[in-house]
Structure 1
Amino acid sequence: SVQFLKNPLLFHSENAHDHGIQDKLGQLRCHFTWGLEIEDNAIPDLESRVMEEIEFLDTRYNVGIHNLLAYVKHLNGQEEEALQSLREAEDLVQREHAHQADLRSLVTWGNCAWVYYHMGRLAEAQTYLDKVEDTCKKFASPSHYRLESPEMECEEGWALLKCGRKHYQRAKACFERALRVEPENPEFSLGFAISSFRLDYDDENVISLEPLQRAVRLNPEDAYVKVLLALKLQDVGQEVEGEGYIEEALNSTSSQSYVFQYASKFYRKKGCVDKAIELLKKTLEERPNSAYLHHQLGLCYRRNMNPRRQERENVHRWVQLAIKEFQETVRLKPRFEMAYVYIAEMYAVRGQCREAEENFQKALCMDNLADHIQQDIHYHYGRFQQFHMRSEDKAITHYLKGLKIEERSFARKNLISALENLAKSRVNQNVSVVESVSLLGLSHKLKGEVKEALLCYERALRLTDQLNPVF
């Protein structure tokens, strides 16, 4: 549980009286002490993604993923399976990092010590603590059981990156610290680029562009990072250059499942929806239980149902296919918030507003959501109220709720635009004019258009005086 993970020394072990070993375990840098805070209901999805990565992502940097799998197995109460994953991690260290095996084994040894401790096997736990202590002495660490090194920062960064978006900022900071020591390290560069990419909530944000370009330069055989760079280039209007990287990646045999996954997103955004669907269906043959892939396929069907693209008689078919894929998404990952939003929108298209409302409420009632996701939910729900329920007041309420969240994001721009357009329409129709002009002023203010905002506020004051004359 989260309570347990926040304080990993709260055990229910028969050996909990052994405070000496507890103190040593608490000093280790490993998955048990990094505050990963994985909620119980998120464990199945995390385990599925970890298993997919082990099977389908070709990388030189996969010791960490076996360590994470061991931690997930521990959370599931499968201690023997956790030890097996840790043995696999140790074998990989010997093959991939033989020249610095002791340094690269510290996280694995720390995890081993913790797992054995939970099993009540204190002698084995102490054996691994001794290995950590010997290595710390070798590298002249001031701590007996904790070593500060760029490699350790990198290991922590990968673990955080895999455990959900609330950890992305911390992950990026880990890789950043590692890069300060070794600026041209390919692995550190790759981790920093991926975490930066995940933090780019705004299509116009170029925070990850330069890190991705550097990561591609330092990892020229890595097809996965090429497709991420392609997507970012597409975001900033350099689609032709981006497609070059997509074609390079598609011609590689490396990490094909992940390459197809992200290439499909590139082609969907480009408008080549049939190509995107083809790539996703190929990938789903290998990874049928990927919530992300079903969600992406749903987005393709959602785009195809646009009446401007298809005859109206085909719309029902695309809507039904989209609903099916989004429902499969939430079956596999019940906390996939935007899938509920898109299910709701598909029902609204079919005129099933009660079903739409039910699904919107599932998303609106979720806790611990990232700010930009909350903004997006309020934006879509506001549009539902405005265009399907004909409730402009409720639409305004949710546009404003979204805008109270000050995260700069693409969703925030959509909220400002939606509020501005609705306010203009109400002014033109002479509906609640004072409020509507004030809202128009707010939209200008939020866009940084101070002069226009002041004009609107002054107009609202004049209208108020006209409506409430002083005798």
Structure 2
Amino acid sequence: MSTISKNSLKSSLLQLECHFTWTLLKQDVDLDDLEETIGDQIEFLIKSNITNYNLLSYVCHLKNSNEEALRNLKKAEEEIQKNHPNEIARRSLVTWGNYAWIYYHMERYEEAQNYVSKVENSCKKLSSTAQRKIQLPEIYAEQGWALLKFGRKYYERAENCFENALKNEPNNPEFNAGYAIAMYRLEAFSHRKCEDTRSSLQPLKRAVELNPKDTFIMALLALKLQDEKQVDEGERYIEEAMQKTPDLPYFLRYAAKFYRRKEVDKALEILKKALAVTPKSVFLHHQLGLCYRAKLFQLKKTKRYQPQEQVAELIRLSIFHFKIVTDQKTKFFSAHTDLANMYAQEKRYEEAEETFQKAFQINILCYDDKQELYYHYANFQRFHMKSESEAIRYYTKGLKIGKESHGRNMCRKALKKLLEQRIQGGLGDATDFGTLGLIHNLNGEKHEAIECYEKAIALCPDNEEYLSALCELRLSISS
């Protein structure tokens, strides 16, 4: 193939609407885990699997398995023929776009060009203006589902995709479900302040209303109601869903999460039932670990003299399940901190340190993950390794990532308390005063911050960081 025609093919490919042009980056996701998740959904979720097969083909390509990718696209085509026999061209645009890209990567340029032409011809028939790009609601939705699977960095884009899909079909149950899930996850991870207009509660209710058979959405609605302190109403949805799909793992995992926050033994019962159906599910193992940990903390809180055998058994079970998760899903950050903290409970400090270090190596951490990780590691250094200097160093690292989050707030509170204790005990050095000055400044307490920086400079007169912070603070007060 000549360079000119190869370049024109590449520019045509870039115009297509499909997984290859939606900027889904493999470094943002654990590909093995994603492949397993999609496989489970194909097996257990009772709905059309076109979207899942298309995404699975892209994942296979990212794992350098193009032949497998083509097999999944063939399955997507079979699903389209079965479920949408009268709309084959319209429903196949993403699948054909993926075919074109995979053949291009396999250097089978003629076949790639054939699929580009199929997309172009179909788009011309479907719209008088379109050549290769056409903004169909189902394409927006398919992009939204793919973005949701690629993790939290993508949730805002997913929400926008479902919003666009809903503009054309406001009563479509699938689009409403996608929009509600995107909003729910954004709330959980971004800590955004949810005014009533932006809360996921109404979208979740709407999605359940449009598709009362979707027990997965019912479970999310129940969890949201639980967050809003409407526990009884939430439980009614869980019980109703339990009648409809008593064996569906995707529902059971969230039902268990609901009960973990209400009645741990019932949660354990549900999780064991779900685990019998999907024994490899890292989500279920993680939830089991959290349940045993909750029972441990309950025991420590309620009984002055804890039966050591019971304590040891709950720690053992927590470690067992968290370890399965970290072995299978090496980028699951919170499972690493959970496991490390459990090792620390059992005074297995080397293994705790090793697990924390693995967590620091995870390359898909968002800023609030990092802040939370610094907080947990600082606690480990402070309470288990008895190193206040290391604790201060890591709390400060979390604090210096300049975005607000729950993790940053915890770092700030713990650090302030620790520094004040040191200063009151006569142990405070220039760094302690300087760091306390930073905290006061972040809290908007400028006069207290000035006082701390002055004390830091008295102990360390040439420190440029303290001098510059003090100068800025004085200017901000006088201006």
TM range (shorter): 0.7 to 0.9
Matching residue of 1:148:
135
Matching residue of 1:8:
none
* 8 Å contact from structure 1 (residues 202, 410) kept in 2: no
Matching residue of 1:269:
261
Q: For 1:423 and 1:276, locate their aligned partners in 2 and report how far apart those are by CA, in whole Å.
A: 40
TM-score normalised over the length of structure 2: 0.84
2:310 matches 1:287: no
Q: Which residue among 358, 380, 397 is the counterpart of 1:384? A: 380
More divergent stretch after superposition (72-81 vs 293-302): 72-81
Matching residue of 2:41:
53
Q: Which residue among 324, 331, 347 is the counterpart of 1:328? A: 324
Q: For 1:465 and 1:40, locate their aligned partners in 2 and report how far apart those are by CA, in whole Å.
A: 43
* CA deviations over 1:434-470 (Å, ceiling 9, x no partner): 8667756655665x5x4xx24633654686799899x
Matched residue count: 451
Write the letter of the residue equivalent to 1:251. Answer: Q
Residues 250, 343 of structure 1: CA spacing in aligned structure 2 closer, same or farther, 3 A cutoff? same
TM-score normalised over the length of structure 1: 0.86
* 8 Å contact from structure 1 (residues 90, 108) kept in 2: yes
Residues 16, 220 of structure 1: CA spacing in aligned structure 2 closer, same or farther, 3 A cutoff? farther
Matching residue of 1:224:
216
Q: How does 1:39-50 map to 2 (within 5 A)?
A: 39=27, 42-50=30-38
Matching residue of 1:249:
241
* 8 Å contact from structure 2 (residues 57, 68) kept in 1: yes
Q: Which residue among 196, 200, 203 is the counterpart of 1:208? A: 200
Residues 245, 438 of structure 1: CA spacing in aligned structure 2 closer, same or farther, 3 A cutoff? farther
Matching residue of 1:374:
370
* 8 Å contact from structure 1 (residues 385, 394) kept in 2: yes
Q: Which residue among 135, 138, 161 is the counterpart of 2:125? A: 138
2:301 matches 1:308: yes
1:295 deviation in Å?
1.5
Matched residue SS, 1:18? helix
2:34 matches 1:38: no
1:44 deviation in Å?
1.4
Q: For 1:128 and 1:468, locate their aligned partners in 2 and report how far apart those are by CA, in whole Å.
A: 69
Matching residue of 2:13:
25
Matching residue of 1:192:
179
* CA deviations over 1:367-411 (Å, ceiling 9, x no partner): 331112111101111111121122223222222211222443332
More divergent stretch after superposition (368-377 vs 68-77): 68-77
Q: For 1:215 and 1:400, locate their aligned partners in 2 and report how far apart those are by CA, in whole Å.
A: 43
Structure 2: tracts of 5 or more residues without a match: 462-479
Write the letter of the residue equivalent to 1:48. Answer: E
* 8 Å contact from structure 2 (residues 29, 364) kept in 1: no
Q: For 1:205 and 1:290, locate their aligned partners in 2 and report how far apart those are by CA, in whole Å.
A: 32
Q: For 1:423 and 1:238, locate their aligned partners in 2 and report how far apart those are by CA, in whole Å.
A: 40
Q: For 1:15 and 1:343, locate their aligned partners in 2 and report how far apart those are by CA, in whole Å.
A: 54
Q: Which residue among 271, 294, 299 is the counterpart of 2:290? A: 299
Q: For 1:390 and 1:16, locate their aligned partners in 2 and report how far apart those are by CA, in whole Å.
A: 67
Q: For 1:464 and 1:213, locate their aligned partners in 2 and report how far apart those are by CA, in whole Å.
A: 55
Write the letter of the residue equivalent to 2:282. Answer: A
Residues 115, 204 of structure 1: CA spacing in aligned structure 2 closer, same or farther, 3 A cutoff? closer
Q: Which residue among 343, 359, 364 is the counterpart of 2:360? A: 364
More divergent stretch after superposition (323-332 vs 308-317): 308-317
Matching residue of 2:465:
none
Q: For 2:325 and 2:4, locate their aligned partners in 1 and report how far apart those are by CA, in whole Å.
A: 41
* 8 Å contact from structure 1 (residues 375, 411) kept in 2: yes
1:69 deviation in Å?
1.2
Residues 430, 99 of structure 1: CA spacing in aligned structure 2 closer, same or farther, 3 A cutoff? farther
Residues 445, 211 of structure 1: CA spacing in aligned structure 2 closer, same or farther, 3 A cutoff? farther
Matching residue of 2:158:
171
* 8 Å contact from structure 1 (residues 28, 145) kept in 2: yes
1:257 deviation in Å?
0.5
1:143 deviation in Å?
4.2
Matching residue of 1:258:
250
* CA deviations over 1:233-282 (Å, ceiling 9, x no partner): 22232322222222222222277211111111111122x22111221111
Q: For 1:145 and 1:439, locate their aligned partners in 2 and report how far apart those are by CA, in whole Å.
A: 57
Q: How does 1:109-124 map to 2 (within 5 A)?
A: 109-124=96-111
* CA deviations over 1:91-134 (Å, ceiling 9, x no partner): 32234344543222110111122233444444443443232112
Matching residue of 2:232:
240
Write the letter of the residue equivalent to 1:70. Answer: S
Write the letter of the residue equivalent to 1:265. Answer: K
* 8 Å contact from structure 1 (residues 290, 332) kept in 2: no
Q: For 1:127 and 1:454, locate their aligned partners in 2 and report how far apart those are by CA, in whole Å.
A: 67
Q: For 2:276 and 2:87, locate their aligned partners in 1 and report how far apart those are by CA, in whole Å.
A: 39
More divergent stretch after superposition (405-414 vs 336-345): 405-414
* CA deviations over 1:144-201 (Å, ceiling 9, x no partner): 2221222221111111111222222222222222233433332222112212222222
Matching residue of 1:3:
none
Matching residue of 2:412:
416
Matching residue of 1:457:
449
Q: For 1:95 and 1:350, locate their aligned partners in 2 and report how far apart those are by CA, in whole Å.
A: 55
* CA deviations over 1:278-317 (Å, ceiling 9, x no partner): 2111111221222222122111122222222562411111
2:90 matches 1:103: yes
Q: Which residue among 74, 78, 83 is the counterpart of 1:87? A: 74
Matched residue SS, 1:147? coil
Structure 1: tracts of 5 or more residues without a match: 1-12
1:433 deviation in Å?
7.9
* 8 Å contact from structure 1 (residues 203, 235) kept in 2: no
1:141 deviation in Å?
5.4
